[in-house]
């Protein structure tokens, strides 16, 4: 059983890395959406 521990730790580290990447990607998508929304608002204000 102890032989598999390093492999298990490596798999866990890979999963954690994937989850972190997913979270960063989601955060960037939210930021991009917010930026687009702000841009639209400023364009509408500029039209008036």
Look at residue 48 in the predicted model and tell me its pLDDT: 73
Specify the length of the chain in residues: 48
Domain count, the chain: 1
15 by DSSP, 3-state: which?
helix
Average pLDDT over residues 39-48: 92
Q: Convert the pLDDT of each residue in 2-20 to its tens digit.
A: 678 999 999 999 999 999 9
Structure tokens at 2: 């102890």
Q: Domain residues for 12?
A: 2-47
Alpha-carbon distance 34 to 13, whole Å?
31
């Amino acid at each position: 059983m102890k032989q598999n521990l390093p492999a298990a730790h490596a798999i866990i580290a890979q999963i954690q890395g994937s989850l972190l990447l997913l979270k960063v990607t989601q955060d960037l998508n939210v930021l991009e959406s917010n930026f687009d929304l702000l841009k639209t608002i400023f364009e509408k204000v500029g039209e008036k």
